[in-house]
Amino acid sequence: MSYYQRHVFFCLNEREEGAACCACHRAAEMQQHAKQRIKQLGLSGEGRIRINKSGCLDRCDAGPCIVVYPEGVWYTYVDEHDIDEIIDSHLVKGEVVERLRI
């Protein structure tokens, strides 16, 4: 059994000036939002959900990205509302958010 029920990685990579990267899309802010929201919902910790920072996940062409394990589902997002939808639908209910799926 996995240590976490779900493990979420936010790409926070920052590329050279002008190059597309997740950092250009408030990735660090979105990761912190997700981490705080999971804590507020009482879903963080062993056997539950872990929100992590990641280096480059090499999906820059798809916009800012996160990946949810163990399912291996990749998402993109625009703002906090998209992150909340991923949390509420996928992380809480186990339902993939198709409109945000890469």
Domains of the chain and CATH, by start? 6-100 (3.40.30.10)
pTM: 0.93
DSSP 8-state code for residue 3 = S
Q: What is the CA radius of gyration of the chain?
A: 13
Residue 48: predicted pLDDT: 97
User: CA–CA separation, 16 vs 36, rounded Å?
Assistant: 29
User: CA–CA separation, 17 vs 32, rounded Å?
Assistant: 24
Residue 28: predicted pLDDT: 95
User: CA–CA separation, 94 vs 80, rounded Å?
Assistant: 19
Local confidence pLDDT in tens for the 102 residues of the chain: 689 999 999 999 988 876 788 888 999 999 999 999 999 999 999 999 999 999 999 987 888 999 999 999 999 999 999 999 999 999 999 999 999 999
User: CA–CA separation, 82 vs 27, rounded Å?
Assistant: 12
Residue 62: predicted pLDDT: 87
Q: How does strand 6-11 pair with strand 65-69?
A: antiparallel
User: CA–CA separation, 52 vs 49, rounded Å?
Assistant: 10
